[in-house]
Homo-oligomer: A and B are copies of this chain.
Amino acid sequence: MTTSKMTKIEKLTELFRQFPGIGPRQAQRFVYFLLSMRSEDLSELSETIGSLSKEVSQCSSCFRFFPAVENRYKCEICSDTSRDNSLLFIVAKDVDLESVEKSRTYGGLYFVTGGTLPLNEKNPDNKIRLKNLIDRTNTESQNLREIILGFNLNAEGEHTSSYIEEKIGPIAAKKGIKISFLARGLSTGAELEYADSTTLKNALKNRT
């Protein structure tokens, strides 16, 4: 770069670097890509981004994002009375929810925590909307029979799972709600030769 004060190109490069999975080189490519776009396409992108927070709402019930509609506070899933309200599936992120919906294997409701807990997190409750989750567990209709904890099977996911189980366990117990966990075992395509010991152990222990 040839000027000392920060240019728009540099600034935008830096903003793109914060995008998930984007390094300095690709960030710069993005900027030159935008510079090569027609002016009206650039405006469209700018406006779509600018209006995003106005035109997307966050569901007051499950906290996922959905297209904003005036006077509507719940997303399509939470508003859909045909879904099974005896089941509540707790996931970390919107993309996890999308992934489960796409598999067409679940007809219950969801709660999105917005993230998982790093092992040394100082403020765990905020990171995972614990207060909202407790509220929901308390006020949920008595139809709720089972809460499914659906976090990734890595250290952070398992830590989050344990933490939530500990916090909502007593409330759930009092209301007769079961807390369950996604099954562990061999996933599609798994090969015994390359499976780790924990996966083999779970696959054997939970054999059917």
Mark A residues whose CB is within 8 Å of B.
1-3, 7-9, 11-12, 15, 19-21, 26, 28-36, 39, 42-53, 55-56, 65-67, 75-77, 91-96, 98-106, 114, 148, 150-154, 180-208
Contact = CB atoms under 8 A, between A and B. Distances in A.
Top-5 shortest CB links A-B: A183-B185, A183-B206, A46-B50, A103-B197, A185-B185
B198 A51 contact: no
Given A2-B77, A42-B50, A49-B46, A202 B185 contact: yes
How many identical subunits does the complex contain?
4
Contacts of A189: 152-154
Contacts of A198: 188
Given A45-B49, A182-B204, 10 more contacts: A8-B51, A35-B65, A49-B49, A105-B200, A154-B189, A182-B203, A183-B186, A187-B190, A187-B199, A206-B206
B42 A52 contact: yes
A35 B52 contact: yes
Given A103-B200, A153-B190, A204-B105, A30 B35 contact: no
Contact of A190 (B33, B152, B203): B152
Contact of A184 (B29, B47, B185): B185
B48 A43 contact: no
A183 to B, nearest CB: 3
Contacts of A26: 20-21
Contacts of A93: 32, 193
Contacts of A101: 2
A8 B54 CA distance: 10
A101 B28 CA distance: 15
Contacts of A1: 98
A192 B157 CA distance: 11
